[in-house]
Amino acid sequence: MDALTDVVQLLRPRTVLMGSMAAYGDWGVQVPVQAGPMLYFVTAGQCWFDAGGSEPIPVRAGDFVLSARPEADSFRSRPGQKTVLSDDEFKARHLVDGEVRIGDDSQGDATRILGGVILCDPTNADLLSEMMPRLIHVSAAEGIGKRLGTLLSLIRDETNHPGPGSDLILSRLIEVLLIETLRREAAALPHPGLLRGLTDPQLAKALAEIHANVCRDWTIAELAQNAGMSRSAFAARFTEAVGLAPVEYLLRWRMAIAKDALRHGRGSLEDIAEKIGYRSASAFSTAFSRRVGCPPSLFARGSLGPQSNASPRNAQITAR
């Protein structure tokens, strides 16, 4: 299993609440603040999108947008168009056959947009926000656009027509969607992080070793040898690309695994300590307390229970 798959699976993307909108003529809507990243897929027409005051970008039928930190995402028929912050009353007034419709349908063809919120396990949600740029826009002209469109169609169908095993199916579809999107972005990311590290074949080998053998007491010399580099060159390139020194990355990933295990009640302190490379529960507890800020037992008591304390706010494209 590679590092990116490890991280995405730890995040447990588990729910997508889909909504659809058809807009005619001159219009503008703003999406509410959400509990997780928002995804949008333009199925017909064209419009302009901006992520909370950023430079508007044109989006067309077949385009996909992933907004990592949606705070004031908006869609407009043209730049500068006034937006409406919709609420439940707005939705009730404009909902027709399961689709929110706005504007005058006599003014040409509709622009149609699907939208939804991705809810991840909050225990390590910071891992996703650190990997993702503020905005990802995939044009339909790119080969991956068709693949993402297929995935979104499957997600929408499963959401609208749930059956036995729907939770698992949705989780897997969202995992694939995230991985497809993130690996497409990796080479273009300007800031350090796991994705940038994975674009370097030599660093990717070291990251794969860390994730495959997290319990091993890796040294920089050993990781450098696996990467086919000198110790000093490896340490410098890893730190520059990933944003953390190799050993610091290992320790952080250990803590992410430990938090996940504690949150979901998987094993005793001794089991967790052994799994991530500590010789005793006491040594693990000391390291965890130093890095996380509280003892493992307190973290477990505070985290066990509901999967998330944040609820999506009207994931329809009509904003709240």
Asked if residue 55 belongs to a domain, the reply is yes
160 shares a domain with 14: yes
pLDDT at 188: 67
Asked if residue 314 belongs to a domain, the reply is no
Q: Decide which of 141, 170, 188 is a domain's last residue.
A: 188
8 shares a domain with 82: yes
- What phi-psi label fits residue 73: left (phi over 0), alpha (psi between -120 and 50 degrees) or beta? beta
268 shares a domain with 230: yes
Q: Report d(CA 7, CA 232) in Å as an integer.
A: 27
Residue 74, SS3?
strand
- List beta partners, residue 116: 18, 39
- List beta partners, residue 245: none
Spatial strand order in the sheet of 99-102: 95-96, 99-102, 15-23, 111-119, 38-44, 64-67, 135-138
202 shares a domain with 69: no
pLDDT at 88: 67
Tens digits of pLDDT across the chain (320 residues): 688 889 988 988 876 777 788 999 999 998 888 878 888 999 899 999 998 878 899 999 989 999 988 888 999 999 989 988 766 677 778 888 878 899 888 888 999 998 888 888 889 888 887 777 888 898 888 878 788 888 888 888 887 788 999 888 988 888 888 888 887 777 666 678 888 898 899 999 999 999 999 999 999 999 999 999 999 999 999 999 999 999 999 999 999 999 999 998 888 999 999 999 999 999 999 999 999 999 999 999 875 444 444 445 554 443 32
Residue type, 206: A
What is the number of domains present in the chain? 2
Residues 6+ apart with CB under 8 A from 222: none
Residues 6+ apart with CB under 8 A from 109: 24, 44, 45
CATH number at residue 211: 1.10.10.60
DSSP code for 275: H
pLDDT at 134: 83
Residue type, 64: F
DSSP code for 39: E
Q: Report d(CA 200, CA 45) in Å as an integer.
A: 38
184 shares a domain with 48: yes
pLDDT at 1: 60
pLDDT at 201: 93
126 shares a domain with 205: no
32 shares a domain with 143: yes
Q: Where are the alpha helices (DSSP H) in the chain?
A: 3-11, 88-94, 126-131, 143-160, 166-185, 194-198, 201-212, 220-227, 231-242, 246-263, 269-276, 281-292, 296-303
CATH number at residue 17: 2.60.120.280
23 shares a domain with 84: yes
Q: Decide which of 128, 158, 188 is a domain's last residue.
A: 188
pTM attached to this predicted model: 0.77
DSSP code for 123: G
155 shares a domain with 201: no
Asked if residue 309 belongs to a domain, the reply is no
pLDDT at 164: 93
Asked if residue 149 belongs to a domain, the reply is yes
- List beta partners, residue 44: 112
Q: Decide which of 188, 213, 239 is a domain's last residue.
A: 188
pLDDT at 309: 42
Half-sphere exposure of 1 (CA within 13 A, CB side): 12
129 shares a domain with 275: no
166 shares a domain with 78: yes
Asked if residue 217 belongs to a domain, the reply is yes
Half-sphere exposure of 131 (CA within 13 A, CB side): 25
Give the CA distances from residue 308 to residues 5, 52, 56, in Å, rounded to whole numbers and listed in that order.
22, 24, 32
Q: Report d(CA 194, CA 196) in Å as an integer.
A: 6
Query: What residues make up the domain containing 280?
Result: 194-303
Q: Report d(CA 11, CA 158) in Å as an integer.
A: 20
182 shares a domain with 261: no
Residue 201: exposed, middle, or buried by beta-carbon count in 10 A (0-12, 13-18, 19+)? exposed
Asked if residue 143 belongs to a domain, the reply is yes
Q: Between helices 220-227 and 201-212, what is the axis angle to 10°?
A: 130
pLDDT at 24: 94
